[in-house]
Structure 1
Amino acid sequence: MAPSILQNGGFALGLLGSSLLIAATAMNKWSVKDRQGDLLTSVYTYKGLWQDCETTTAGMTECRPLYGLLGFSGSFQAVRALMIIGVVLSALGTLLSIFSLQCLTMNKMEDRSKAKMSLTAGLMFITAGVCGIAGASVYANQIVSSFQITANNNYNNNYNNYGQGGFGGQYGGGMGMGAGIPTYTFGPALFVAWIGGGVLLIGGILKSLAFREMVKDEKPRYPGVVYKPQSHTKGEDHPLEGGQKYV
């Protein structure tokens, strides 16, 4: 496959994956409240990496910024760090991809230099994709663990309240029917991050393959060898075939 096709394809996928990763990092819906069994008058809450938000049935939305570093778990901080690293690397990789395109001529840059830039951009895309996928996976694992624990606690609370002849625990938090503590499930930002990470991986692989093709197409260059025949002047004897001499 032609290096230009691999380069252009890798650049397009890298640009798309970078945009998706930036969008996922900025989105607030990393985890959303599980609304199964909720009343229509219940509050809809969702969480992101930087804000926690809730929306009422009247359409009023209020968000609370998540300030500070010490008040959050290590896994949550790791997700933040992975997504920031992924965004930075994908942005730098996109910038390098622009300068490494063969269709762009700038200051008579050599093809080998463009090939190295293409490989560097490809490695950045791959690393950014891994960071995005890893960050979303860590966050999803925390949601699954929290969902199971909260669901078990709610079941036990409801069972105890029912056995005591009361339902006070069901409405204690104003979060809806059938659960004292709200449970959260996957938000759309997780899927955007997974898709963006996968697209970046594919784009990085294409950029790396473009480097291989660009190096392969280069012809080896050797220093020129100039042959200078010996000059023959009159009076010098130069043996030839048959014993003849130059005169």
Structure 2
Amino acid sequence: MVSAALELAGFFLGLLGLLGSLVSTVLPYWENTAHVGSNIVTASGTVKGLWMECVTQSTGAFQCETFNSILALSSDLQASRALMVVSLVLSTLGLAIAVLGMQCTVCLEESAEVKKRVAGVAGCFFLAAGFMTLVPVSWTTNKVIQNFYNPNLPATLKFDLGDCLYLGIISALLSIMGGVMLSASFCEGQEGGGGPGRWHGGGYPYPAGGLPATRNTTNLQMGGMNVNSRGQTLVPTGNGSLGTVHGKPVAAGYDVTGYV
């Protein structure tokens, strides 16, 4: 069975991934002004994010302005917004579901199989959230690098990679790692094994308490003898009654399973 420590590690990695993705989504440090060319670096600079653009004045003042019109934004920025928001929602759902499915919690204790599957579902949510965070971060990183090395683009329009891009990549990897650890519960559910109610050694399944407490004692008529299901043979005696012979039932050179 997947250890509780592994599930806890996956839970906390997913939590760290959620916090990192939240910070990356809110803060505007996705693109920083690149000071390139022969000009001396000035004190002012511009940073851009998913929701706002901020400017640092030469006096040290920091002023931000949100993007007012959604329709005026580029398609890649709109897609990045949507993916990051969906990633946050999936991570939050994954945390809530993981609390129900982890072994260290008291929820769903009546069914170990259901508990494992719930933990695996939480891992799938973390995996999806990690990939959704990785897509817009990688997309923006590729765009910034291409624009930086574009010779036809003026130096004033070139940007460097912001801190939120690095944080987004790390957060996505943490969410994916946490999802893999929690999803290991699905792999364990496919293994045969020593849990209660499972089939043991290819035999018939019995409940956790072992063999059934009672058995039917249906009698089988074979020749001139009665054989019950407990392996006892009832044979006629001299006084007209039936006697019991313990052991394997035998009749006319044959037993119940075949030749003697």
- Give, in angstroms, the shift of residue 210 of structure 1: 2.9
Distance 2:226 2:242 in 1: 6
Normalized against structure 1, the TM-score is what? Answer: 0.77
Establish whether residue 187 from structure 1 lines up as the match of residue 183 from structure 2: no
- Which residue identity lines up with residue 39 of structure 1 in the other structure? I
User: Match of 2:142, SS?
Assistant: helix
Over 6 Å off, 4+ runs: none
| Residue 207 (structure 1) aligns with | 182
Percentage identity across aligned positions?
26
Q: Quick check: which one's helix share is greater? A: 1
Normalized against structure 2, the TM-score is what? Answer: 0.74
| Residue 28 (structure 2) aligns with | 28
Closer, same or farther: CA 241–114 of 1 in aligned 2, 3 Å = closer
| Residue 197 (structure 2) aligns with | 220
User: Match of 1:35, SS?
Assistant: coil
Work out whether residues 28 and 54 of structure 2, in 8 Å CA contact, stay in contact via their aligned partners in 1. Answer: yes
- Give, in angstroms, the shift of residue 211 of structure 1: 3.5
Distance 1:146 1:6 in 2: 42
- Which residue identity lines up with residue 197 of structure 2 in the other structure? P
Question: Within 5 Å, which residues of 2 pair with 1:61-76?
Answer: 61-76=62-77
Question: Within 5 Å, which residues of 2 pair with 1:12-161?
Answer: 12-36=12-36, 39-106=40-107, 108-149=109-150, 151-154=151-154
| Residue 234 (structure 1) aligns with | none
- Which residue identity lines up with residue 128 of structure 2 in the other structure? T
Work out whether residues 144 and 159 of structure 2, in 8 Å CA contact, stay in contact via their aligned partners in 1. Answer: yes
Closer, same or farther: CA 102–5 of 1 in aligned 2, 3 Å = same
- Give, in angstroms, the shift of residue 27 of structure 1: 1.4
What is the alpha-carbon root mean square deviation over aligned residues?
2.6
Distance 1:238 1:47 in 2: 91
Distance 1:101 1:71 in 2: 45
Distance 2:16 2:157 in 1: 35
User: Match of 1:95, SS?
Assistant: helix
Q: Quick check: which one's strand share is greater? A: 2
- Give, in angstroms, the shift of residue 114 of structure 1: 1.3
Distance 2:106 2:177 in 1: 26
- Which residue identity lines up with residue 220 of structure 1 in the other structure? G
- Give, in angstroms, the shift of residue 111 of structure 1: 1.4
Distance 1:75 1:141 in 2: 12
- Give, in angstroms, the shift of residue 18 of structure 1: 1.0
**Larger RCO, structures 1/2 (Cα 8 Å, 6+ apart):** 1
- Which residue identity lines up with residue 64 of structure 2 in the other structure? C
- Give, in angstroms, the shift of residue 182 of structure 1: 3.4
Which digits, 9 at most, give the CA deviation of each residue in 1:157-202, with x for residues without a partner?
Answer: xxxxxxxxxxxxxxxxxxxxxx4x2310110100111110011111
- Give, in angstroms, the shift of residue 108 of structure 1: 4.0
Establish whether residue 6 from structure 1 lines up as the match of residue 2 from structure 2: no
Establish whether residue 246 from structure 1 lines up as the match of residue 242 from structure 2: yes
Work out whether residues 3 and 214 of structure 1, in 8 Å CA contact, stay in contact via their aligned partners in 2. Answer: no
- Give, in angstroms, the shift of residue 153 of structure 1: 3.7
Consecutive unaligned residues in structure 1, runs of 5 or more: 155-178, 232-236
Work out whether residues 34 and 184 of structure 1, in 8 Å CA contact, stay in contact via their aligned partners in 2. Answer: yes
